[in-house]
């Protein structure tokens, strides 16, 4: 109770300070004498004498001078005198002054009393049209970055829109006066009055509510602008760095885990689980190309450089028809486009790794730009400095490089080329050296055909390779190397048609070719006794066509309907084994085989994937939403652990393995309390799953030429309740999420070897009923802020020994039913303190410092529970139960971030 009272008082205090600051800044008393002085001198005086910041472009001030004497007069009167007859107007945002040209490209500004009105079009054409199309771009008024997902609410029409990934919007409105309300997480809301006369374009700026720079925002997008969309979280490049993280490295994926319905398997796990799904049930796209491993150093870091990320959308449900391939979620990551205004260099220096990003225009025409980023670690050097000789022989290093080129042939014709490469090596005082790498590329071409037609084309390539080099204690003659991997080529085309504001149509198709290397072993030395062995490669061709429509049925009811037809064909060459139907499938019961040549069709799977959702807007502005989706998944990851690791490999749906099928229903209530700065939502979901991959007891997965003999296909279900409350404004902001969920499985087969827990439902290894996340950020001053997050979740199910007895002089262990027990509850508190960069405009080099502590109170959260021979007497044959924790102490880190 004491904590609740403290938190409430803190929120009230922060809100009061914010309101007082906003009201008092306009009444600040100004003094000074200026005689034909440059206006920049006046603005500098406001900064130095009264700590009043102002934002503008340098070129706007060239022709403006000030001749005036101010003797302790209010700031607003001084500004009116300075800018009253100039081409610049001004606005207040919190305690800052924003200068805005009265004449922008295609815009005129007229005064109606104290209110400015943007005039779009030629005044002589008033009354000529009934409707007009207003296009525009919303940018960060300070940095110039485009804001994806910003909301434009047309107050007089009670309609909402949002910007796309390029910060652009397009809407058809009746001509006349309109009031546009602009909002974006972490930015000061703005109201703009517009007189729309004819088709036109507008450039609008939003300014950060506080002065924290270059953060990442994780937001649940509940706005009316998304029509019927629900079960979606959006990450744009603005609040993630406020979250305390391990080693000071911001992490998009780990931050998403703080949202409702999304959980982590365990400490430092690179994968994540959405609504009870396996880690391999998430499709992660980088500029449209799939990612098969998202981690560095086995989960210590994400493969995504946070400085290069522009926009991330995560769909948990209500999946648009243009997406498929995975049944749990789709995370669509877009990399930033380079700045077309100026060359910029920024990055960060941490304890064990550093990062950099360089971006800018190719030429001065502001139509083409580039972005190049990279990260590397010097953890090898740190390990060699340790006194512990064991760690001196360890290896832990990685690097990644990302780059893109953006060519704007015109406002309607844009091309983006992206490339990404990464490599990891890891060995922690053992005989095993792990190596894995990613190579990803994509081409995206967007072409607008007139005002109502838009086409998007994507071509992508992705390759993931893993190798394990094992040195044998008995000598180099037994050294070997294990390799696995997957390669993907894909293309996708999407065509959109907007016949009216209340109707949007989508149509498209996609195709991909995949080749999987399930495993191969090669001798580690030329004179090794190990023989080369390879499990036959798997290859498949996938295709899909899709169509969808977004339709406003009434002023309150909107609908999105879509259908996707997917087809997946396993191809040769391959040898398929046939088994005696009277016995459980095993290598001993092979009765025949089928031989398929190159590109022969082994098995074709196909299915219809309908999608349907509704949104009903209530009178108070809240909404109720309902969604249904069916998704087919033709690719599964094979793992003998609950935590995704680089050694896992992929398995396609083929002659013996059926595709995974998911049907999901979701119902939600969404409401924003704008005056209080609160966003709230409640969602419930139910999923039915068919053909889940499970394993027989004692399954041998690696280098198995008959993998189907150790795989069991199960059915299951999952359901849950997700609560979300976020305070998006004020010095104290953050969110609270709570998820109650269950995910169960069941096998119902003919043979005992293929039945788990006697055919009864049992919890999945990802079944964690309770999950709570609390995130809070407090802006102490303009440059100082403190952040913290607390997570608590139920322990993961596990299988433990229940009996042990001695037979033949050895101890025999009898294990419980699968996932009968649970590991201890997981909880952790992290905190960070940030000193932000200098706010002076003329300072070329800007830097900030972040001190963070991960696992502040040193909780030893168990990563796994295992059973092994007692250490004190290896010859006794006795075994004991142990818990293993990866991080059981507070881990401090410090990072220096810079911008040039």
- Reported as a single tens digit per residue, the pLDDT across 625-678 is 999 999 999 999 988 664 445 568 899 999 999 999 999 999 999 988 866 778
- Residues 6 or more apart whose Cβ sits within 8 Å of residue 204: 136, 137, 138, 139, 182, 190, 192
Higher local confidence (pLDDT), 360 or 543? 543
Lowest average pLDDT, out of 26-35, 107-116, 216-225, 341-350, goes to 216-225
Lowest average pLDDT, out of 17-21, 74-78, 271-275, 875-879, goes to 17-21
Q: What is the pLDDT of residues 880-895, one digit of tens each?
A: 667 777 777 888 888 8
Tell me, what's the pLDDT at 186?
64
What's the average model confidence in pLDDT over 123-138? 81
Determine the Cα–Cα distance for residues 608 and 373; give it in Å rounded to an integer: 41
Tell me, what's the pLDDT at 246?
57
593 CB burial (10 A radius; 0-12, 13-18, 19+): exposed
Strands 574-579, 590-596: pairing kind:
antiparallel
Helices (H) then strands (E): counts for the chain: 6, 58
Query: What is residue 659's DSSP assignment?
Result: P
**Rounded mean pLDDT of the chain?**
82
- Identify the bridge partners of residue 443 per DSSP, sorted by sequence position: 417, 459
Work out the pLDDT band at 415, boundaries 50, 70, 90: very high
CB 583 within 8 A of CB 589: yes
Higher local confidence (pLDDT), 519 or 249? 519
Tell me, what's the pLDDT at 167?
79
Q: Which helix (H) or strand (E) holds 48?
A: helix 39-50
Percentages of the chain per state (helix, strand, coil), in multiples of 5: 10, 55, 35
CB 683 within 8 A of CB 667: yes
Among 681, 663, 683, smallest CA distance to 673 is for 681
CB 657 within 8 A of CB 713: yes
Query: Which of 13-22, 313-322, 373-382, 725-734 holds the top average pLDDT?
Result: 313-322
**pLDDT of 615 strictly over 80:** yes
Determine the Cα–Cα distance for residues 492 and 126; give it in Å rounded to an integer: 43
Angle between helices 75-83 and 39-50 (to 10 degrees): 170
Work out the pLDDT band at 1, boundaries 50, 70, 90: very low
Tell me, what's the pLDDT at 343?
87
Please give the backbone phi and psi of residue 691, each rounded to the nearest 5 degrees, phi first. 65, 40
Tell me, what's the pLDDT at 37?
84
What's the average model confidence in pLDDT over 753-775? 91
Query: Which of 4-8, 279-283, 333-337, 718-722 holds the top average pLDDT?
Result: 718-722
What's the average model confidence in pLDDT over 412-433? 86
Determine the Cα–Cα distance for residues 725 and 671; give it in Å rounded to an integer: 10
**pLDDT of 21 strictly over 50:** no
Lowest average pLDDT, out of 3-7, 121-125, 253-257, 397-401, goes to 3-7
Work out the pLDDT band at 14, boundaries 50, 70, 90: very low
The dihedral sign for the CA sequence 649, 652, 654, 658: positive
Lowest average pLDDT, out of 46-50, 623-627, 826-830, goes to 46-50
What percentage of residues in the chain have a pLDDT greater than 70? 83
Lowest average pLDDT, out of 129-133, 161-165, 404-408, 838-842, goes to 838-842
**pLDDT of 766 strictly over 80:** yes
**What is the radius of gyration, based on Cα positions, of the chain?**
30
Lowest average pLDDT, out of 399-403, 559-563, 850-854, goes to 850-854
Tell me, what's the pLDDT at 330?
94
**pLDDT of 10 strictly over 80:** no
Q: What is the pLDDT of residues 233-272, one digit of tens each?
A: 876 656 555 565 556 667 777 778 888 999 887 766 667 8
Determine the Cα–Cα distance for residues 252 and 403; give it in Å rounded to an integer: 18
Measure Cα distances from 820 to 11, 324, 755, 771, 823 in Å: 43, 33, 15, 20, 10
Tell me, what's the pLDDT at 7?
39
Higher local confidence (pLDDT), 92 or 353? 353
CB 146 within 8 A of CB 168: yes
Structural domains of the chain in order of their starting residue, each with its CATH number: 232-899 (2.40.170.20)
CB 47 within 8 A of CB 32: no
Work out the pLDDT band at 12, boundaries 50, 70, 90: very low
Tell me, what's the pLDDT at 13?
36
What's the average model confidence in pLDDT over 2-25? 42
Among 28, 21, 18, smallest CA distance to 76 is for 28
Determine the Cα–Cα distance for residues 851 and 244; give it in Å rounded to an integer: 9
Tell me, what's the pLDDT at 9?
37
Work out the pLDDT band at 226, boundaries 50, 70, 90: very low
Higher local confidence (pLDDT), 626 or 842? 626
Tell me, what's the pLDDT at 255?
79
| Four-CA torsion 277, 279, 281, 285, nearest 10 degrees | 140
What percentage of residues in the chain have a pLDDT greater than 90? 32
């Amino acid at each position: 109770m004491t904590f609740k009272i403290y938190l409430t008082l803190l929120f009230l205090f922060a809100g009061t300070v914010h309101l007082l600051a906003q009201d008092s800044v306009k009444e600040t008393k100004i003094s000074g004498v200026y005689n034909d002085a440059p206006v920049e001198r006046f603005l500098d005086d406001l900064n130095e004498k009264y700590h009043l910041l102002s934002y503008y472009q340098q070129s706007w001030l060239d022709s403006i001078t000030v001749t005036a004497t101010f003797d302790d007069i209010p700031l607003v009167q001084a500004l009116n005198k300075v800018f009253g007859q100039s081409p610049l107007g001004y606005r207040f945002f919190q305690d800052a002054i924003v200068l805005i040209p009265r004449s922008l490209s295609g815009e005129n500004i007229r005064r109606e009393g104290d209110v400015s009105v943007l005039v779009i079009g030629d005044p002589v054409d008033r009354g000529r049209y009934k409707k007009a199309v207003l296009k525009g771009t919303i940018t960060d008024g300070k940095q110039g970055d485009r804001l994806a997902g910003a909301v434009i609410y047309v107050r007089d029409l009670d309609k909402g829109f949002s910007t796309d990934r390029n910060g652009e919007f397009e809407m058809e409105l009746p001509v006349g006066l309109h009031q546009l309300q602009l909002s974006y997480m972490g930015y000061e809301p703005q109201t703009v009055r517009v007189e729309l006369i004819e088709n036109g374009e507008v450039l609008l700026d939003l300014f950060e509510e506080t002065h924290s720079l270059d953060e990442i925002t994780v937001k649940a997008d509940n706005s009316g602008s998304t029509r019927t969309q629900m079960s979606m979280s959006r990450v744009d490049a603005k609040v993630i760095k406020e979250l305390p993280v391990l080693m000071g490295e911001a992490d998009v994926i780990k931050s998403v885990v703080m949202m409702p319905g999304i959980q982590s398997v365990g400490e430092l796990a690179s994968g994540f689980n959405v609504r009870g799904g396996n880690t391999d049930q998430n499709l992660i796209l980088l500029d449209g190309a799939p990612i098969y491993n998202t981690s560095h150093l086995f989960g210590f870091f994400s493969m995504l450089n946070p400085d290069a990320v522009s926009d991330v959308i995560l769909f948990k449900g209500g999946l648009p028809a243009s997406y498929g391939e995975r049944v749990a979620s789709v995370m669509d990551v877009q990399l930033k486009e380079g700045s077309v205004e100026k060359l910029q260099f920024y990055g960060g220096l941490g304890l064990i790794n550093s990062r950099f990003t360089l971006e800018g225009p190719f030429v001065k025409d502001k139509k083409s730009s580039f972005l190049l980023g990279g990260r590397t670690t010097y953890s090898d050097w740190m390990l060699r400095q340790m006194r512990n000789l064991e760690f001196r022989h360890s290896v832990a290093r990685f690097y990644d490089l990302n780059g893109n080129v953006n060519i704007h042939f015109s406002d309607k014709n844009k091309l983006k080329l992206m490339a990404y490469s990464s490599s990891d090596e890891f060995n922690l005082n053992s005989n095993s050296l792990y190596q894995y790498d990613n190579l990803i590329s994509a081409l995206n071409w967007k072409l607008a055909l007139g005002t109502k037609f838009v086409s998007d084309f994507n071509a992508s390539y992705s390759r993931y390779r893993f190798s394990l080099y094992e040195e044998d204690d008995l000598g180099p003659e037994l050294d070997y190397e294990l390799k696995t991997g997957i390669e993907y080529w894909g293309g996708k085309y999407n065509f959109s048609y907007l016949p009216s504001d209340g109707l949007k149509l989508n149509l498209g198709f996609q195709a991909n070719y995949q080749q999987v290397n399930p495993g191969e072993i090669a001798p580690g030395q030329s004179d090794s006794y190990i023989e080369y062995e390879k499990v036959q490669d798997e290859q498949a061709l996938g295709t899909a066509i899709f169509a969808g429509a977004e339709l406003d049925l009434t002023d309150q009811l909107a609908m999105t309907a879509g259908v996707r037809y997917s087809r997946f064909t396993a191809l040769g060459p391959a040898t398929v084994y046939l088994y005696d139907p009277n016995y459980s499938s095993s290598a001993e019961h092979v009765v025949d085989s089928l031989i398929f040549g190159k590109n022969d069709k082994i098995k074709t799977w196909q299915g219809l994937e309908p999608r349907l959702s509704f949104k009903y807007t209530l009178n108070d502005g809240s909404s109720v939403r309902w969604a249904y989706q069916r998704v087919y998944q033709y690719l599964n990851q094979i793992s003998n652990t609950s935590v995704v690791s680089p050694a896992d490999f992929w398995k396609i749906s083929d002659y013996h393995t059926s595709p995974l099928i998911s049907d999901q229903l979701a119902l939600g209530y969404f409401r924003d309390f704008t005056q209080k700065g609160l966003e709230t939502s409640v969602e419930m979901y139910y999923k039915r799953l068919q053909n889940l991959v499970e394993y027989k007891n004692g399954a041998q997965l690696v280098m198995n030429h008959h993998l189907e003999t150790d795989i069991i296909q199960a059915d299951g279900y999952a359901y849950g309740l997700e609560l979300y409350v976020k305070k998006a404004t004020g010095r104290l902001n953050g969110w609270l999420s709570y998820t109650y969920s269950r995910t169960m499985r069941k096998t119902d087969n003919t043979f005992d070897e293929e039945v788990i827990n006697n055919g009864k439902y049992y919890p999945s290894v990802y079944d964690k009923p309770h999950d709570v996340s609390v995130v809070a950020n407090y802006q102490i001053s303009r440059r100082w802020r403190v952040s913290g997050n607390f997570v608590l979740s139920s322990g993961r199910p596990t299988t433990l020994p229940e009996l042990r007895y001695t037979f033949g002089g050895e101890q025999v262990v009898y294990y419980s039913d699968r996932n009968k027990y649970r590991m201890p509850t997981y909880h952790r508190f992290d905190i960070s303190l940030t000193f932000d960069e200098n706010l002076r405009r003329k300072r070329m080099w800007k830097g900030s410092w972040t001190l963070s502590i991960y696992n502040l109170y040193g909780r030893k959260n168990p990563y796994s529970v295992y059973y092994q021979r007692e250490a004190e007497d290896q010859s006794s044959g006795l075994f004991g139960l142990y818990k293993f924790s990866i991080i059981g102490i507070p881990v401090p880190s410090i990072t220096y971030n810079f911008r040039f």
